[in-house]
Structure 1
Amino acid sequence: MVCSSKFTKAIICAVFLAVSASAAPAASSVPASSVAVSSLTLPSSSISGSSDSPSSTASAPAASQTVPFASDDPNGVLWGPDIDTVPQAIRGSLGATVLGPQDVGIVKENADLLAPPTTDSGSVSNAKWPYSLSHNRLQTGGCARQQNVGVMPIATAMAGVNMRLEAGAVRELHWHKTAEWAYILKGSVQVTAINTEGQNYLATVSEGDLWYFPPGIPHSLQATADLPEGSEFLLVFDDGEFSEDSTFLLTDWLAHVPKEVIAKNFQTNISAFDHIPADELYIFPAEVPHDDDKAVNSPQGTAPEPFTFKFSQVKPQQLSGGTAKVVDSTTFKIATNIAAAEVTVEPGAMRELHWHPTQDEWSFFIEGTGRVTLFASSGNARTFNYQAGDVGYVPASFGHYVENTGNTTLRYLEIFKTDRFQDISLNQWLALTPPELVKAHLNLDDTTIAHLSKTKPTVIGPGK
């Protein structure tokens, strides 16, 4: 029908609004059973270190139903790596069987890629890289494999290297244009370094300990025989484009300097350098270092700040679902560009819903199996499964959690390109927001709101 006048249009609009208002259900008529209730109802008093009283409650008007309530259909992991059958791309009534070929081993380890939770939506870049897929560089005395943007494009802020040295083997004297942070996975390593003031340093660090070398600081790494097999460690660099092939190596440099120049530099006869290597050594075997080795006496003294940190001796914070301990420049003073947390999550527990305000997170999974969903805003979310030896990545401000999906303890590292560890807890944020405002957003009942914790739970035990 075509309206003939503005007056006619006004009458029609008024009638339409009146009919719509009478047909729409009142907000208060929504059945109580249909109101979504948080699944995390852990009392704040059950969180280790939480001494504050529960959040106060308030009776705010129920919010108008502008969108449907979130589904409570189960979205758990459908299988684990040890499943006996061949997984299929089916979740509930969705999906279909796989008719074509597939790598069953990879599918078993990545259930949430083949049969993702229905909460996944939109597009999020791949945030998982197994070191098992990295090309390995084999040397006499050890090996090394890396992860950088070449294999994981999302990881722009940091890159990593997994290195293995047999007892006595040396990662030769070298330096980088990036900072180097390390975590020892097995065995012990003797490190040496010198700073710009000619102050030197020597120390031995063991499993769970760290070292850090600022950009340009020359250093070496040598495995001890504390573990007969030698050592293995994780290296993290503050540049996603870092490559081990771009290291500044002592032998590589001298192999590309005329020998007469080398002799002049060291004020000695050219014949003294008849047997220097013609190519880089990178990793090579050598005699096992002595336990009582000391730094060479320097007229400038020793480095004022240690390049190593006994992280293994830091007492972790005990939490309801696991433990956490943090290291940054407040405790490891020389580490001005990398901070980290070591987290354990017990079976059924989870690292709480949280985000890091300004820095990307580079994760390394040491033991156990876990699940992480990344929320990238604008309706984009994707879930990934992780096993020991995997690298994970979470861009700055992406909401996420880490859930233990196995039957053993999950242990992993959270690493950041920053001098201070920072995170924001969803639980704490809601607890410190006026209750009536939280209720208006989420339709939570008073009991759930009262259970929100004003201190960060960090790692939360199994839910009810």
Structure 2
Amino acid sequence: MLTFKAVFCAVLIAGYTTAAPAPASSAPTDASSTIVFSTASSAISSAFSATSSTVLASSASVAPSSGVSESGAARSSTRTSASSTGSSSPSATSSAPPASETVPYASDDPNYILWDEDSNIDPQGVRDSYGASVMGPQNVPIALQNPDLLAPPTTDQGSVQNAKWPFALSHNRLQTGGWARQQNVDVMPIAKSMAGVNMRLEVGAIRELHWHKTVEWSYVTKGSVQVSAINSDGQNYLGTAHAGDLWYFPAGVPHSLQATADDPDGAEFLLVFNDGAFSEDSTFLLTDWLAHVPKEVLAKNFKVNMSAFDHIPAQQLYIFPSAPPADNQKAVSDPQGQVPSPFVFPLSQTKATALEGGSVKVVDSTTFPIATEIAVAEVTVEPGAIRELHWHPTQDEWTYYLSGEGRVTLFASSSNARTFNYQAGDVGFVPASFGHYVENTGNTTLHFLEIFNTDRFQDISLAQWLALTPPDLVKAHLDLDDATIAALSKTKKTVVGPSDSTTS
């Protein structure tokens, strides 16, 4: 560019010395200045053409200063040569520089997980040449469970709110007959649209008659639970949810939960509510309400003597022990009849869709009609496989990990990305439209629930999107070769099986 600059400066100097400045009044244009600047324009054009030819010729043999690898330059050169041999006169497209020349190529540096919770090491905040050792005290078990927080991949950047909460860190409410612990925005502020409760009932124990301002959705992790309810039309329901089954109650529908004797230890289950600010301590409870109503009002309402309420609890029971329900128990005879749509869904009996690296079951209002505000995908990912890169267009995802070890990177746009590690009993959260994947980083099956505050499950696959986009457009963005583009799947894989191609 030195030759071009020299010519450009010389022409400008010559032009300004030849043409005197125009007076302030509106005088006719000096013809000599027009000739000078016309000559200058021609000189600049000639100089630019000559200089451009020199620069383009030299750029073919010089690697870009942005750090592009030799192999990347060679690939780009090969593709350029291949496209130019098809025609003697290059088109406007083929003569344009590749988009990748505007920024450096993405790094090939590996970003594998550095350790796991079973590693016998002293974890350090070091990845390759970045970071340094931990000199002060640290909680080693937590550091071992979260390698991508202490030594994050180099692809992480910017700021993303914490998207992991272990139920093991939640305060546990202990009762006679069971316990309950919760996750909400108080402990994970990013999860504004949903909250969760992990509850345990001993055999026969009852989560007392109650209702919520939000919907209640549940997945039974162990044992069986008998549920009872009525709707606003006075129609009642009695059913049992076994391990792997679901129940759903619309907002305001009163219900109860009781552990059966199917499992000698009772039952444990997950509850999800479609409000991140939900608190299990703010439930509308039967005993709590009656304890705060004057007894004369109770007597008047039920048309009985006040003495009938001499033994009602003075405060809420919440969870309390009782005899287990009979296996053949039937719903109370109801003149209004039974609810039109059952509140329990037998997910455990639903056949999973087998995938190349795992499986999936999807339940939403199309299969569980009463569940109009929460949908779920139950997913398994085998070792070495990955829940493919995807996003959910309009729904937040509240994730619960049932078994195995997983790794998730959230892409939040504007170059913000952060990676989290999950184990059984952890809650994850992915805001709507955030790009993400779920990678199995362990040696056993990764099993988790994707839960959404919607009536219909939706996701968009990155691979399918690219496969169904014009190939030239994909190539212009990513500089992929034809073989790679041709290999993109036009059908959604959901889970992608292990592959050795990542090492080549």
Relative to the length of structure 1, the TM-score reads 0.91
Output the CA distance in 2 between the equivalents of 1:262 and 1:302. 28
SS in 2 for 1:260: helix
Equivalent positions of 1:327-366 (< 5 A) are: 327-366=363-402
Output the amino acid matched with 1:63: P
1:181 is aligned to 217
Alignment of 1:20-419 (within 5 A): 22-24=54-56, 25=59, 33-34=71-72, 61=94, 63-64=98-99, 65-419=101-455
Report Cα offsets for 1:274-322 as digits up to 9, x if no partner: 0100000000000110000011001000101000100111111111110
Structure 2 residue corresponding to 1:426, chosen from 448, 459, 462: 462
For 1:300, the aligned partner's letter is Q
Q: CA shift at 1:22, angstroms?
A: 3.4
SS at match of 2:102: coil
| Equivalent residue letter for 1:407 | N
Distance 1:27 1:270, change over 3 A: farther
Match of 1:445?
Answer: 481
3-state DSSP class of the match of 2:464?
A: helix
Check 1:258–1:348 CA distance in 2 against 1; reply closer, same or farther (3 A cut): same
Shift of 1:463: 2.0
C-alpha contact (below 8 Å) 1:36/1:442 kept by paired residues: no
8 Å CA contact retained: 1:117, 1:383 = yes
Tell me which amino acid in the other structure corresponds to 2:108. Answer: D
Q: Deviations over 1:370-429 (max 9, x none)?
A: 000000011000000000000000000000000000000000000000000000000100
Measured at CA, do residues 429 and 255 of structure 1 come closer, stay the same or move farther in structure 2, by a change above 3 Å? same
- Aligned counterparts of 2:46 and 2:223: Cα–Cα separation in 1: 80
Does the CA contact (< 8 Å) of 1:191 and 1:220 recur in 2? Answer: yes
Secondary structure of 2:410's match? strand
**DSSP-derived class of the 2:154 partner:** coil
Task: Describe the superposition over 1:92-137 as per-residue Cα deviations: whole angstroms up to 9, x where unpaired.
Answer: 1111000011111110000000000000011000000000000000
The alpha-carbon distance between structure 1 residues 194 and 17, as it changes in their structure 2 partners (threshold 3 A), is: farther
Structure 1 segments unaligned to the other structure (5+ residues): 38-59
Q: 1:440: how far off?
A: 1.2
TM-score under structure 2 normalisation? 0.84
Which amino acid in the other structure matches residue 161 of structure 2? S
Rate the CA distance shift 1:356–1:17 in 2: closer, same or farther, 3 A.
farther
Q: Which has the higher contact order (CA 8 A, sep 6+)?
A: 1
Does structure 2 conserve the Cα–Cα contact (< 8 Å) formed by 1:324 and 1:344?
Answer: yes
Q: Residues 292 and 439 from structure 1, CA distance in 2 versus in 1: closer, same or farther, beyond 3 angstroms?
A: same
Shift of 1:205: 1.0
Whether the aligned pair in 2 keeps the contact of 1:80 and 1:111 (CA below 8 Å) is: yes
Letter matched to residue 72 of structure 2? S
Distance 1:346 1:245 in 2: 38
| More helix as a share of residues | 2
CA contact 1:428–1:452 (8 Å) conserved in 2: yes
| SS of match in other structure, 2:384 | coil
- Secondary structure of 1:297's match? coil
SS in 2 for 1:241: coil
Aligned length: 442
Equivalent pair of 1:112/1:385 in contact (CA under 8 Å): yes
Shift of 1:17: 7.9
Letter in structure 2 aligned against 1:22: T
| 8 Å CA contact retained: 1:36, 1:69 | no
State the 1:19 CA deviation. 3.5
Shift >4 Å, 4+ stretches: 1-18, 26-32
Q: For the residues of structure 2 that align with 1:252 and 1:435, how far apart are their CA atoms?
A: 64
In the TM superposition, what is the alpha-carbon distance from 1:63 to its structure 2 partner? Answer: 2.2
Once the two structures are superposed, what CA deviation does each residue of 1:118-173 show, in whole Å capped at 9, x if it has no partner?
00011000000000000000000000000000000000010000000000000000
- Tell me which amino acid in the other structure corresponds to 1:254: L
1:287–1:121 Cα change, 3 Å: same
Write the distance in 2 (CA, Å) between the matches of 1:339 and 1:190: 22
Amino acid at match of 1:417: N
Change (3 A) 1:21 1:110: farther
Cα distance change, pair 267–118 in 1 and its aligned pair in 2 (3 A): same
Question: After superposition, what is the alpha-carbon deviation per residue over 1:174-219, rounded to whole angstroms, capped at 9, x for unaligned?
Answer: 0000000000000000000000000000001100000000000000
Deviation string, structure 1 residues 199-257 (Cα, Å, up to 9, x no partner) = 00000110000000000000000000100000000000000000001100000000000
Matches of 2:418 and 2:137 in 1, distance apart? 24
- Whole-angstrom CA distance in 1 between matches of 2:109 and 2:185: 37
Cα distance in 2 between the residues matched to 1:109 and 1:410: 15
Percent identity (aligned) = 70
Q: Is 2:499 aligned against 1:463?
A: yes
1:331–1:28 distance in 2 versus 1, CA, 3 Å: farther
Hey, what's the Cα distance between the residues in 1 that align with 2:242 and 2:62? 62
Q: CA deviation at 1:21?
A: 6.1
Instruction: Answer whether contact 1:35 1:444 (CA < 8 A) is retained.
Output: no
Q: Deviations over 1:321-377 (max 9, x none)?
A: 100110000000000000000000000000000000001000000000000000001
CA displacement at 1:32 relative to structure 2 = 8.4
